[in-house]
Amino acid sequence: MSKQTIQLEQWKFLQGTGVKDAEGLLAKPDAEGFIRLELTGEKSRMGGVSWTPEQYLVIDMLADMDAMTTVDVLFFKEKPLEEGERNTLNYHMIPTRRVKMVLKLDELASRRFFLPTLPGTLKGHSNGRPTSIEEINRIEILVHPGYSHYFNSLRLYEIYLADELPDMTVIGEPMVDELGQWIQKDWNTKTHSVEELVTYLHSEYEKAKEGASYPEGWSRYGGWLDKKFDTTGYFHTHYDGRRWWLVDPDGYAFISNGVCYGSRMGVHGFVDRMENLFSWLPAKDDPEYRDAWTTADQIAEFVKRNGAEAGKGRYMFNFARANMIRAFGADGWWNAWVTINAARLKNWGFNTIGVGVNNYFDEHVMEYLAKAEIPFVWTLKEFPQTKEKIFRDFPDVYAEEYAENSRIFAENQLSPFVGNPYMIGYFVNNEPEWKFQYINLAERTFAHPSHLATKDALIGWLKEKYGTVSALNAAWNRQYAAFEDLLKPEEMLDTSSEAAAEDFAQMHAVLLEKYAQVPGDALHKVDPNHLNLGMRFSSVSEREMAGCECYDVFSFNRYAPNATESLELASSISNMPMIIGEWHIGGGDKGLLSNGLLSAPTQEERGKACAFYMEGAISNPNCVGLHYFEMNDQPLLGRFDGECMEHGIIDICNRPFDELVAHFKDVSSKLYALADGQEEPTQIQGTIWYSR
- Residue 76: the pLDDT is 97
Q: Which residues contact 120 (CB under 8 A, 6 or more apart)?
A: 93, 94, 97, 99, 100, 101, 168, 170, 273, 274
Q: How many CA atoms lie within 13 A of 504 on its CB side?
A: 22
- CATH of 3-162 among 1.10.3720.10, 2.60.120.430, 3.65.10.10, 3.30.390.30: 2.60.120.430
Average pLDDT over residues 53-58: 98
- Contact indicator for 537, 431 with CB cutoff of 8 Å: yes
Number of H helices, E strands in the chain: 14, 33
Phi, psi of 200 (to 5 degrees): -65, -45
- Contact indicator for 549, 524 with CB cutoff of 8 Å: no
- Residue 81: the pLDDT is 85
Q: What is the pLDDT of residues 417-433, one digit of tens each?
A: 999 999 999 999 999 99
Q: Which residues contact 488 (CB under 8 A, 6 or more apart)?
A: none
- Residue 1: the pLDDT is 84
- Residue 172: the pLDDT is 98
- Residue 357: the pLDDT is 57
pLDDT at 83 over 90: no
- Residue 358: the pLDDT is 60
- Residue 504: the pLDDT is 98
Domains 3-162 and 198-355+536-675 share a fold: no
- Residue 363: the pLDDT is 82
What is the Cα–Cα distance from 541 to 561, expressed in whole angstroms? 17
Q: Which residues contact 498 (CB under 8 A, 6 or more apart)?
A: none
**Is the bond preceding residue 134 a cis peptide, omega within 30 degrees?**
no
pTM of the model: 0.96
Q: How many CA atoms lie within 13 A of 442 on its CB side?
A: 26
Average pLDDT over residues 292-320: 94
- Contact indicator for 353, 369 with CB cutoff of 8 Å: yes
617, β-bridge pairs: none
pLDDT at 267 over 80: yes
- Residue 609: the pLDDT is 98
- Contact indicator for 642, 124 with CB cutoff of 8 Å: yes
What is the Cα–Cα distance from 503 to 635, expressed in whole angstroms? 47
User: Is the dihedral angle over the CA atoms 218, 369, 628, 183 positive or is it negative?
Assistant: positive
- Report the candidate in 493, 517, 515 with the shortest Cα–Cα distance to residue 505: 493
What is the Cα–Cα distance from 253 to 236, expressed in whole angstroms? 10
- Residue 487: the pLDDT is 98
- Residue 364: the pLDDT is 86
- Give the number of other CB atoms < 10 A from CB of residue 342: 21
- Residue 356: the pLDDT is 59
| 93 DSSP assignment | E
Q: Integer distance in angstroms from the first to the last C-alpha of the chain?
A: 36
Q: What is the CATH number of domain 198-355+536-675?
A: 3.20.20.80
pLDDT at 42 over 60: yes
- Residue 365: the pLDDT is 86
Which pairing describes strands 623-628 and 256-259: parallel, antiparallel, or unpaired?
parallel
Extract long-range pairs of 391-394: CB within 8 Å, 24+ residues apart. Answer: 391/110, 391/434, 391/439, 391/441, 391/444, 392/110, 392/111, 392/112, 392/113, 392/432, 392/433, 392/434, 393/112, 393/432, 393/433, 393/434, 394/432, 394/434, 394/441, 394/444, 394/511, 394/515
What is the Cα–Cα distance from 452 to 449, expressed in whole angstroms? 9
- Residue 82: the pLDDT is 87
- Report the candidate in 635, 640, 426, 460 with the shortest Cα–Cα distance to residue 551: 426
In order of 15, 70, 118, 643, the CA distances from 123 in angstroms are 24, 9, 9, 6
Phi, psi of 56 (to 5 degrees): -110, 135
Q: What is the pLDDT of residues 515-532, one digit of tens each?
A: 999 999 999 999 999 999
pLDDT band at 617 (very low <50, low <70, confident <90, very high): very high
Buried b (16+ CB within 10 A) or exposed e, 121-136: bbbbbbbbbbbbbebb
Q: Read off the amino acid at residue 244.
A: W
Domain ranges of the chain: 3-162, 198-355+536-675, 389-526
DSSP string, 594-628: B--SSEESSHHHHHHHHHHHHHHHHTSTTEEEEEE
In order of 100, 398, 410, the CA distances from 404 in angstroms are 43, 11, 10
Q: Which residues contact 405 (CB under 8 A, 6 or more apart)?
A: 384, 385, 386
Q: What is the largest CA-CA distance in the chain?
A: 81
Weakest mean pLDDT among 215-224, 235-244, 537-546: 537-546
- Residue 211: the pLDDT is 86
Average pLDDT over residues 367-390: 94
Give me the sheet containing 256-259, strands edge to edge.
531-532, 423-427, 376-379, 352-353, 256-259, 623-628, 578-583, 554-556
- Give the number of other CB atoms < 10 A from CB of residue 30: 13
pLDDT at 334 over 60: yes
In order of 243, 537, 582, the CA distances from 246 in angstroms are 10, 20, 18
- Contact indicator for 318, 284 with CB cutoff of 8 Å: no
Q: How many CA atoms lie within 13 A of 356 on its CB side?
A: 23
- Report the candidate in 499, 391, 402 with the shortest Cα–Cα distance to residue 445: 391
User: Where does 309-384 have alpha helices with state H?
Assistant: 319-328, 333-348, 365-372
pLDDT at 588 over 80: yes
Q: What is the pLDDT of residues 346-375, one digit of tens each?
A: 999 999 998 655 667 788 888 998 899 999
Average pLDDT over residues 162-179: 98
Q: How many CA atoms lie within 13 A of 607 on its CB side?
A: 17
Share of the chain above pLDDT 90, in %: 94
